Structure 1
Amino acid sequence: MVFLVCLAALVALAAANNFGQNIAQNRPTGSSSVFVNGVPPLTASSNLAVDGNFNSNFFSGSCFSSDVSANDPNPFWYVDLGSRVYVSGVTITNRGDCCADRLSGLRVEVFEFNPTTSAETPELCATLSGGVALGQSIGLACSPLTTGRFLRISKPGATSPLTLCEVVVSGGKFYIVFHLKILNFQILVNVPPRPPVSVGAIVSIPKYSPTTNIAQNRPVRATSQFNFAATNLIASPGLAVDGNFNTDFVNGRSCYSSAIGDLTPTLYIDLGAYYYINSIIITNRGDCCAERLRNINVSTLLKDPFRYLEFPKQCGTITGNVAAGADATVNCNQPTVARYIKIQKTSMVDSNDLLTLCEVQVTGRFASYVELTKKPVDNDVAQALAANGVFPNKGNVAILPNANQITPGRGF
């Protein structure tokens, strides 16, 4: 079936086709200054932070450092990722032979254009106040849909140099999503980035069925991500929806995991539009640690959890006893109308009891504009809104200026 496109607005979304890779390695870099040591001869160039060498001994020659703070009081380092990408997070390895406290007071920002010449306001990915041990790595997650070509790490008002032994950036390339308004229907269509489609073109519209996995390659956000520096593996959130069902965590490189120290690890999937949700299917890790898939709450949200206060509507729980490499299916009660899927580990038996998801599938059916305006469906949607504590006319939904003000347990 084809429809005449009346209105098309381009929206760039990330495709999870390279979320498990380091998209910064060996990319062009720059910095505000470079430390040069005469004895022994050593130049701590900016490219050393993305050379793929995780040796944290500064004098081994694989760490970047800015000049002393007297010469460079506002040091920065940046990497050119080559094109505009979706940036999901960054992992920084600290110096290991001394001076661990230098990895503090940092800002991680993303630019569309070169930060040395651009006057743009960057997107803030994260900040780092300190507390990273000698030679250790720390993973920082970016806000939803952070996009750009250049990633910059700066240290404003520094009293010591900016030292980075390795910087790993995870993210994804772009597909184009067309938001179409066709004969009073609003739908989302995934198409490849080329060839471009002009207004007035004829486009085939996919028909959604209850068996369609509507989560694949959708934007994902998590409270933390695990970094296995020994194998250059970043278990980033996008791996949970990349369509790869390999359950070998290390060799398959297609499983998401939270980081050690995250006491309430949570993963969110943005489906991009309203759907009637049938089920959420989670594939367990297969090489070891099957018992980690326990104490899991699976719920849905109507609103962006990083902008609105909303109680999730619970679909079900996973208490445990899921075999290695097996699937656990949570069926939602009807009607469940939602845009966001929330998967949260509610309790942990020890620090290694991580949230590990090798693949997440969501089955459901697209809720079209005409369906959502029918009276019978209106009642269902109203019930779903009420179940989530959303009463717009009574002011129960509050828009927040940033994600840090969201109360734990109410959407985040």
Structure 2
Amino acid sequence: MWTKKNVALGGKATQSERLRNEWAAFSSAGNAIDGNRDSYFYHGSCIHTSGGDNPWWRVDLLQVYTITSVTITNRGDCCGERISGARILIGKHLKDNGINNPHGRATQSDLLKGEWAAFSHASNAIDGNRDSFFYHGSCTHTSGGDNPWWRVDLLQVYTITSVTITNRGDCCGERISGAQILIGKHLKNNGINNPQSVLIFTVQSLIQK
């Protein structure tokens, strides 16, 4: 039986750097795992880097765990868009601040054909951005045809407890109806020999205004 526990609370957090002003003391990496979900920065329980290229935050859990979910409380007083495009990497490698740890590798049957092909890459589905408007550049899209597919290689063996899908929100949400979620290690026939976990009837579109 699985028991969920917040293992980050006992970890050791570091980050690329803190703010460089009078609020530096409020921006420490450890604030993210203090158990306080107050999302207002000036209340003293958020982290903040000084910006720059490729800022990062990292927690060492000090033991080996099976990670089933990661929960992030975004900043609530302003600036929530700053987290867009962030990646969650899980592993034991510290080289280059952990960027070599796995975050999944995505492929799909094909891309859109035409001027919007560059917006349709498989990796868009795992970039951490849930913007559901295709023309904003964070959705996947095949060219249609028979039996299109999308696949992610997690690069390690995990126990999968849930799969979350953000459907297209600007139009065409019905296209996902009838899709299957298959989980397994077999690549033959594009993975269709893996066991079926779920048959999708509908996924409510995330409408953004």
Task: With the length of structure 2 as denominator, give the TM-score of the two structures.
Answer: 0.57
1:128 aligned residue: 128
Q: Distance in 1 between matches of 2:198 and 2:62?
A: 33
How far 1:340 moved relative to its partner? 2.5
Distance change in 2, residues 1:79/1:65 (3 Å): same
1:61 to 5, 28, 44: 44
2:30 to 19, 27, 47: 47
Q: Is the CA contact (8 Å cut-off) linking 1:106 and 1:128 kept in structure 2?
A: yes
Q: Distance in 2 between matches of 1:97 and 1:61?
A: 12
How far 1:60 moved relative to its partner? 1.3
Structure with the higher fraction of residues in strand conformation: 1
Equivalent residue of 2:87, what SS?
Answer: strand
2:5 to 21, 34, 47: 21
How far 1:99 moved relative to its partner? 0.9
Equivalent residue of 1:79, what SS?
Answer: strand
* Structure number with higher relative contact order (C-alpha < 8 Å, ≥ 6 residues apart): 1
Q: Distance in 1 between matches of 2:180 and 2:42?
A: 39
1:30 aligned residue: 14
**AA at the equivalent of 1:128:** G
Distance change in 2, residues 1:73/1:50 (3 Å): same
1:223 aligned residue: 163
Q: Is the CA contact (8 Å cut-off) linking 2:182 and 2:198 kept in structure 1?
A: yes
Unaligned runs of 5+ residues in structure 2 are 105-125, 133-151
Distance change in 2, residues 1:114/1:25 (3 Å): same
Unaligned runs of 5+ residues in structure 1 are 1-15, 133-141, 148-170, 172-218, 226-257, 271-302, 313-338, 352-412
Q: Does residue 186 of structure 2 align to residue 304 of structure 1?
A: yes
Q: Is the CA contact (8 Å cut-off) linking 1:29 and 1:80 kept in structure 2?
A: yes
Q: Is the CA contact (8 Å cut-off) linking 2:56 and 2:97 kept in structure 1?
A: no
Distance change in 2, residues 1:223/1:304 (3 Å): farther
Distance change in 2, residues 1:107/1:23 (3 Å): same
2:123 aligned residue: none
Q: Is the CA contact (8 Å cut-off) linking 1:55 and 1:62 kept in structure 2?
A: yes
**AA at the equivalent of 1:28:** K
**AA at the equivalent of 1:31:** Q
Structure with larger Rg: 1
Q: Distance in 1 between matches of 2:6 and 2:191?
A: 34
Q: Is the CA contact (8 Å cut-off) linking 2:11 and 2:62 kept in structure 1?
A: yes
Q: Does residue 75 of structure 2 align to residue 91 of structure 1?
A: no
**AA at the equivalent of 1:33:** E
Q: Is the CA contact (8 Å cut-off) linking 1:221 and 1:268 kept in structure 2?
A: no
Equivalent residue of 1:342, what SS?
Answer: strand
Distance change in 2, residues 1:56/1:63 (3 Å): same
Equivalent residue of 1:47, what SS?
Answer: helix
Q: Does residue 201 of structure 2 align to residue 346 of structure 1?
A: yes
Q: Equivalent residues in 2 for 1:242-391 (5 A)?
A: 270=184, 304=186, 308-311=189-192, 340-347=195-202
2:54 to 70, 74, 77: 74
Equivalent residue of 1:124, what SS?
Answer: coil
How far 1:96 moved relative to its partner? 0.9
Distance change in 2, residues 1:221/1:74 (3 Å): same
How far 1:58 moved relative to its partner? 1.2
Q: Is the CA contact (8 Å cut-off) linking 1:36 and 1:43 kept in structure 2?
A: no
Q: Is the CA contact (8 Å cut-off) linking 1:26 and 1:52 kept in structure 2?
A: no
Q: Distance in 1 between matches of 2:14 and 2:30?
A: 7
1:399 aligned residue: none
Q: Is the CA contact (8 Å cut-off) linking 1:34 and 1:65 kept in structure 2?
A: yes
How far 1:106 moved relative to its partner? 1.5
Q: Distance in 2 between matches of 1:114 and 1:97?
A: 32
Aligned identity (percent) is 25
Q: Distance in 2 between matches of 1:76 and 1:46?
A: 10
Q: Is the CA contact (8 Å cut-off) linking 1:37 and 1:43 kept in structure 2?
A: no
Q: Distance in 2 between matches of 1:310 and 1:267?
A: 10
Q: Distance in 2 between matches of 1:311 and 1:34?
A: 47
2:81 to 101, 104, 115: 101
Deviations 1:48-71 (A, max 9, x none): 11222221111111111111x3xx
1:329 aligned residue: none
Task: With the length of structure 1 as denominator, give the TM-score of the two structures.
Answer: 0.32
